């Protein structure tokens, strides 16, 4: 009796993961649906965000503000109408009001707010890329140092220290970056303190311990006998690393890099302080821009209607993309384990 019951419960809990995943995906999709219907795939290549509404407005007094704004740009006579149209984008109950507005009078001078995802998408990709360019060589260096060069009484404590550093909350990295690292970078490279470059570098520092730890683990899987044979043939340490360890653990190392990449893509807090949070394509590496997680973190509170839906759309893109990326890395690992 209990036996059966427990088996059912455990099966249920395991299935919960699947249900949860489907739930997250469906919820994001449904929440993003208005934006998906409105913009389609063109969202991905549209660099405009919240244009035609120069000042971001909280939803509560959206109507009043919208009215005030349209007054500056359009005829006062159709002011009320426009306010209704603005409501579509700014107000929670936008749909109803929009219908009303359309029914009363065809909205001729509709000032529509456009949301496009290109800037956050580019910002995410570029900041992650900078982080990887910075972190991969250093993480490789640390991993090689820990697994091959350092004597055991150094590599063990340093290894533990690295693993502990990987556990430090990412917001700490963000704060350090903002107050200590960004001024130095801005002085060295010019440009703004909050920029793509500083965000990418701090992101790189943040994923460094994680990447180094898991890369070291995959390097450590190389059987000693292979290394010893190579040394016996007169190979130098570098040749052993290059010709024995790297080829043997190549797949694992690539997997670790992709896992870290996935982590960097979805990272919010280390980047939020540093990327500048402006919807603007960076012309130089030292320009401020925005990434998907930061867009969500900064704008979610004040977004409503289509704006909120567009943020969910961005979240969905991030979710699907990182899901695909991590599955790919897992698949890589699995193939290796079975082979």
Partner 1 sequence: MRLVVNKIVLALSILSAVVGLSFLGWILVTLVVKGMTAMSASLFIHDLVDNGLRNLIVGQFVLAGLASLVGIPLGMVAGIYLREYGNGSRYAEFIRDLSDIMMSAPSIVIGAFVYAVAVKPFDGPSGFAGAFALAIMMIPIVINTTDSMLSLVPKELREAGIALGASKYKVIFDIVIRAAKVGIMTGILLSFARIIGETAPLLFTSETSNYFTLDLTSSFSSMTVSIYNLANEPEESARDLAWAASLVLTALVLIINLTGRYLTRNKHK
Q: Which residue, 85 or 267, has its beta carbon nearer to partner 1?
A: 267
Question: How many C-alpha atoms does 212 have within 13 Å on its Cβ side?
Answer: 28
Range in contact with partner 1 (rule: CB under 8 A) among 94-102, 189-197, 245-253, 320-328: 320-328
Residues 135-194 that bind partner 1 (CB under 8 A): 137-142, 144-146, 149, 158, 160-162, 164-165, 167-176, 178-180
- Alpha-carbon distance of 52 to 306, in angstroms, equals 14
Interface with partner 1, residue 301, by CB under 8 A: yes
Number of residues that bind partner 1 (CB under 8 A): 85
Interface with partner 1, residue 80, by CB under 8 A: no
* Residue 80, number of CB atoms within 10 A of its CB: 14
Burial 210-230 (b: 16+ CB within 10 A, else e): bbbbbbbbbbbebeeeebeeb
Range in contact with partner 1 (rule: CB under 8 A) among 114-122, 223-231, 280-288, 311-319: 311-319
Residues 206-235 that bind partner 1 (CB under 8 A): 208-209, 212
**What are the counts of helices (DSSP H) followed by strands (DSSP E) for the chain?**
15, 2
Interface with partner 1, residue 318, by CB under 8 A: yes
What's the min distance (Å) between Cβ of 299 and partner 1? 10
- Alpha-carbon distance of 307 to 115, in angstroms, equals 7
- Alpha-carbon distance of 81 to 106, in angstroms, equals 9
SS3 content of the chain, % helix, strand, coil (to 5): 75, 0, 20
289 forms beta bridges with 276
Please select the residue that binds partner 1; options are 156, 238, 281, 284, rule is CB under 8 A. Answer: 238
Q: Which residue, 279 or 312, has its beta carbon nearer to partner 1?
A: 312
- Alpha-carbon distance of 310 to 292, in angstroms, equals 11
Closest CA to 195 of 207, 185, 205: 185
What's the min distance (Å) between Cβ of 291 and partner 1? 10
What's the min distance (Å) between Cβ of 269 and partner 1? 5
Q: Which residue, 31 or 78, has its beta carbon nearer to partner 1?
A: 31
What's the min distance (Å) between Cβ of 5 and partner 1? 9
* Residue 267, number of CB atoms within 10 A of its CB: 25
Residues 111-140 that bind partner 1 (CB under 8 A): 137-140
Residues 256-295 that bind partner 1 (CB under 8 A): 259, 262-263, 265-269, 272-273, 293
Cβ contact 282:225 at 8 Å: no
Q: Which residue, 44 or 168, has its beta carbon nearer to partner 1?
A: 168
Helix (H) or strand (E) holding 320: helix 305-338
Interface with partner 1, residue 64, by CB under 8 A: no
Please select the residue that binds partner 1; options are 96, 237, 243, 250, rule is CB under 8 A. Answer: 237
Interface with partner 1, residue 205, by CB under 8 A: yes
The token duo for 188 is 């060295």
């Amino acid at each position: 009796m209990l036996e059966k019951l427990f088996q059912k419960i455990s099966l249920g809990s395991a299935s919960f993961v699947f249900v949860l995943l489907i739930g997250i995906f469906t919820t994001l999709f449904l929440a993003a649906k208005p934006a998906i219907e409105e913009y389609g795939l063109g969202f991905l290549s549209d660099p405009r965000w919240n244009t035609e509404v120069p000042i971001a407005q909280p939803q509560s007094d959206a109507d009043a503000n919208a009215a005030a704004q349209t007054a500056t740009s359009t005829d006062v006579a159709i002011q009320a109408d426009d306010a209704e149209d603005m409501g579509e984008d700014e107000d929670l109950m936008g749909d109803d009001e929009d219908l009303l507005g359309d029914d009363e009078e065809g909205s001729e001078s509709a000032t529509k707010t456009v949301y496009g995802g290109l800037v956050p998408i580019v910002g995410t990709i570029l900041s992650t890329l900078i982080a990887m360019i910075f972190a991969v060589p250093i993480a490789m260096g640390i991993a090689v140092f820990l697994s091959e060069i350092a004597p055991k009484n150094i590599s063990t404590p340093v290894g533990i220290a690295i693993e502990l550093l990987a556990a430090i909350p990412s917001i700490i990295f963000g704060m350090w970056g903002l107050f200590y690292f960004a001024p130095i970078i801005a002085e060295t490279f010019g440009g703004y303190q909050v920029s793509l470059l500083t965000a990418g570098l701090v992101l790189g520092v943040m994923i460094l311990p994680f990447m180094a730890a898991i890369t070291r683990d995959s390097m450590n899987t190389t059987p000693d006998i292979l290394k010893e044979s190579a040394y016996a043939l007169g190979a130098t340490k570098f040749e052993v690393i290059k010709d024995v360890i790297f080829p043997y653990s190549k797949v694992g190392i690539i997997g670790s890099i992709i896992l870290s990449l996935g982590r960097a893509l979805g990272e919010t807090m280390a980047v939020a302080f540093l990327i500048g949070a402006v919807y603007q394509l960076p012309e130089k590496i030292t320009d401020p821009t925005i990434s998907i997680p930061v867009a969500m973190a900064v704008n979610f509170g004040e977004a409503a209607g289509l704006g909120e839906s567009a943020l969910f759309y961005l979240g969905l893109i991030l979710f699907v993309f990182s899901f695909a990326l991590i599955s790919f890395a897992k698949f890589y690992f699995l193939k290796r384990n079975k082979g």
